[in-house]
Structure 1
Amino acid sequence: MNIAVTEPDLIVRREGAAGVVRLNRPKALNALTLEMARGLDAALTEFEADPAIALILIEGAGERGLCAGGDIVGLYNSAREGGDLGKVFWREEYVMNARIAKFPKPYVAYMDGFVMGGGVGIAGHGSHRIVTDKTKIAMPEVGIGFFPDVGGTWLLSRAPGEIGTYFGLTGETMNGADAIHTRFADAFVPASAWPELRAALTTASADAHADNVRGILARFTMTPEAGPAQRHAQQIDQWFAHDTVEAIFADLERDRSDFAQATLKALRAKSPTSLKVALKLLRIARDAASLEDCLVHEYRAALQVFVSYDFVEGIRAAVIDKDRAPKWRPATIEEVTPDIVARYFDDRGDDELKLPD
């Protein structure tokens, strides 16, 4: 009798001097659960203390991508039931995001295929971020009544011009070239070269350091052609320079180009409240001194998101009923008052979020 062997959702192992962490939920596009986040954090603790481990390698199982984000179905069920999964999950996830950014050993993230939301959190703060000709990175949270989190406001606000604001509010997908331009990634490597590059990384010497890893990557790195968003950088910088969503809409409405109208259509499909909250978070992030400062603001806002109508409604429309027709409350940006937005910026939860020094 054949007995099926079920692999864990997170595979942690040593390969030579590399500590390898593989997200292993390919049928769910490796969506990140609380248990996986805790497993990754435990792996980092183990590998950091092990002198035989020179670098960390993060990858996703299957051929579709690294990680489609957090397990939003679990968050949806908890929010509907009045649970606290959101508070616990985001708190532990954000602490891990900050830890990744300060990890003392080279942290190599293979961002092939889909990398969305929480996937950006475990890859985008790494020291060596690889994208490919198949990469599709997005922070589409405004489409489910949320906002770019996991330190996404820090990353987006440090992109050149207003391209980060564009990606944060529209939720549009960036390819590998746009990811390099937006400073979400460091090296563009064709997916076909990954097996050879991976072998080079996992056979690096035990005393390899960041310069060694950069040297290995340089042997495989190519310069891609400009991505779609980069080619529209001048228009994006004009439209998204405003500090209000209303002004952004107005600029887009005046521009009758196909790209402007497609951008406007994308924005109109998002939660009006999320658009305003996300834009304010991005502007705060622009002046922030650190990733940790951004994570504090994101956590405060996330606690309000978890008890909001739009979050449950957005997930329902996107992944539960899949009708793609959310009924937002308020329904228009004009109806989202300053008082509504202010709820997402109350001082709360700071004593719970124990970020690393």
Structure 2
Amino acid sequence: MTSPRTATAPPDTDDCVLLRTEGRAAYIVLNRPRALNALTHAMVRRIDSALTAWETDPGVEAVVLTGAGERGLCAGGDIRAIHDDARTGGRASADFWRDEYRLNARIARYPKPYVAVLDGIVMGGGVGVSAHGSVRVVTERSRIALPETGIGFVPDVGSTYLLGLAPGELGTHLALTGQQVGAHDALLCGLADHFVPAELLPRLVADLAADPVREVLARYVSEAPPGVLAGQREWIDACYPAERVEDIVARLASHGARAAEEAARTLGTKSPTALKVTLTALWRARLLGPLERVLEQEYRVSCAALGSADLVEGIRAQVVDKDRTPRWSPATLAAVTDDDVARYFAPLGPRELALADGHTAQEVPW
């Protein structure tokens, strides 16, 4: 007779996601190190299938997520594929996001400890498969970011929900600038829970097969090295509470702090449309309630971005041609109208992503 664990374990046929069970833990390893473990649709489906099997497996008490290689957990989605899809008017990206956002919601509600190791680079979709987990571990090598405005896109994978919960205006700052943060700042912003020195990760991950998560963490968690955001709260909290991105940029440029001036210059390189949509998305996310509602809104926004000129141009400039000189359209914040922004939040009709009790995202008053 086949044992229950063998019967429920997903078949290990895709080496882009390595799955195994050992002792009391189940392990997910993102395994595309040459692509910084960037997510594909097949990888999302495989992770979801594994979580389905392990949810009812009495032998699995915790799930552990790590990334192969030395560079990072996950650099996000495959944006070259998104670029090609957007250029040809395809639907593959929308189908990918539908399953990805469902996975993000599932991770957030998973009934067993979901231990995500955010070591090295963690960006975009990498945040989605890790920062919604119940136990999020960072190291001195962690570099976490939502850099979407730099490619004409908008932070997604539930990040507008997470950043909306960050203290003061830190979330707004990170969403608009795409700034990378280290371990201490990730803890401050609520993107992580525990700091563990990178050299101890192999032992921590191995111990989870033998002992409960709480006991293992107690052995390895320590104080994170100092960050930078706590010392920048004064100008961040003073400059970012505004209804218009133009006002934020003006405040940053005139504040006097060198870091504020640098932030203003950074915003000047981003897609004006993406900046305005991102600010609106953050404001609306704070009013929507649970994560599922926010993911529904993000799906609307992402699908709208798929048909925008800025997404194609941003990926071209940053990833394809790498000339780092995107030609945004519209080219200035002043030229982006309220109607331009509103289009990103328009209902999708039968194509809506319904996660919150089967109902689609509610309308938020402008």
Structure-1 separation of matches of 2:286 and 2:293: 11
Asked whether the equivalents of residues 8 and 24 of structure 1 are also in contact (C-alpha less than 8 Å), the reply is yes
Residue 287 of structure 1 aligns to a residue whose secondary structure is: helix
After the TM superposition, which residues 194-343 of structure 1 pair with which residues of structure 2 at under 5 Å, given as runs?
194-204=201-211, 212-343=212-343
Structure-1 separation of matches of 2:309 and 2:225: 42
Aligned counterpart for 1:137 among listed residues 140, 144, 152: 144
Tell me the matched-pair count: 345
Asked whether the equivalents of residues 143 and 171 of structure 1 are also in contact (C-alpha less than 8 Å), the reply is yes
Give TM-score, length-normalised by structure 2.
0.92
Asked whether the equivalents of residues 95 and 354 of structure 1 are also in contact (C-alpha less than 8 Å), the reply is no
Deviation at 1:56, TM superposition (A): 0.3
| Structure 1 position 169 matched with structure 2 position 176 | yes
- Residue of structure 1 in register with 2:362 after alignment: none
Structure-2 separation of matches of 1:43 and 1:213: 20
Gaps of 5+ in 1: 1-5, 205-211
Identity among equivalent positions (%) equals 50
After the TM superposition, which residues 21-36 of structure 1 pair with which residues of structure 2 at under 5 Å, given as runs?
21-36=28-43
Deviates more, 1:327-336 or 1:221-230: 221-230
| Structure 1 position 101 matched with structure 2 position 96 | no
Q: 1:282 to 1:350 in 2, by over 3 A?
A: farther
Give TM-score, length-normalised by structure 1.
0.94
Structure-2 separation of matches of 1:91 and 1:278: 19
Q: Greater relative contact order: 1 or 2 (C-alpha under 8 angstroms, separation 6 or more)?
A: 1
Structure-2 separation of matches of 1:167 and 1:270: 13
Residue 353 of structure 2 aligns to a residue whose secondary structure is: coil
Deviation at 1:352, TM superposition (A): 4.1
Residue 229 of structure 2 aligns to a residue whose secondary structure is: helix
Q: What amino acid is aligned across from residue 33 of structure 2 in structure 1?
A: P
| Structure 1 position 82 matched with structure 2 position 89 | yes
- Residue of structure 1 in register with 2:122 after alignment: 115
Deviation at 1:240, TM superposition (A): 0.9
Q: What amino acid is aligned across from residue 44 of structure 2 in structure 1?
A: A
Deviation at 1:256, TM superposition (A): 3.0
Deviates more, 1:327-336 or 1:244-253: 244-253
Deviation at 1:287, TM superposition (A): 2.1
- Residue of structure 2 in register with 1:353 after alignment: 353
- Residue of structure 2 in register with 1:65 after alignment: 72
Q: Structure 1, residues 44-91: CA drift from partner, whole Å, max 9, x if none?
A: 001112110010000000000000000111111111111101210111
Asked whether the equivalents of residues 37 and 74 of structure 2 are also in contact (C-alpha less than 8 Å), the reply is yes
Structure-1 separation of matches of 2:16 and 2:100: 16
Structure-2 separation of matches of 1:79 and 1:179: 32
Deviation at 1:145, TM superposition (A): 0.6
Structure-2 separation of matches of 1:214 and 1:173: 29
Deviates more, 1:323-332 or 1:246-255: 246-255
Q: 1:184 to 1:15 in 2, by over 3 A?
A: same
Structure-1 separation of matches of 2:124 and 2:349: 21
Deviation at 1:213, TM superposition (A): 1.5
Q: Structure 1, residues 194-251: CA drift from partner, whole Å, max 9, x if none?
A: 11111211222xxxxxxx4233212211122431122211211111111210110110
Structure-2 separation of matches of 1:169 and 1:29: 23
Deviation at 1:355, TM superposition (A): 2.1
Q: 1:196 to 1:243 in 2, by over 3 A?
A: same
Q: What amino acid is aligned across from residue 202 of structure 1 in structure 2?
A: A
Aligned counterpart for 2:49 among listed residues 42, 56, 59: 42
Residue 137 of structure 1 aligns to a residue whose secondary structure is: strand
Q: What amino acid is aligned across from residue 115 of structure 2 in structure 1?
A: V
Deviation at 1:115, TM superposition (A): 0.3
Asked whether the equivalents of residues 17 and 31 of structure 2 are also in contact (C-alpha less than 8 Å), the reply is yes
Deviates more, 1:253-262 or 1:97-106: 253-262
Asked whether the equivalents of residues 300 and 349 of structure 1 are also in contact (C-alpha less than 8 Å), the reply is no
Residue 340 of structure 1 aligns to a residue whose secondary structure is: helix
Residue 213 of structure 2 aligns to a residue whose secondary structure is: helix
Structure-2 separation of matches of 1:354 and 1:282: 20
Q: Structure 1, residues 149-181: CA drift from partner, whole Å, max 9, x if none?
A: 000000000000000100000000010100000
Structure-2 separation of matches of 1:303 and 1:351: 10
Aligned counterpart for 2:133 among listed residues 114, 126, 131: 126
Asked whether the equivalents of residues 296 and 350 of structure 1 are also in contact (C-alpha less than 8 Å), the reply is no
Asked whether the equivalents of residues 33 and 69 of structure 2 are also in contact (C-alpha less than 8 Å), the reply is yes
Q: What amino acid is aligned across from residue 193 of structure 1 in structure 2?
A: L
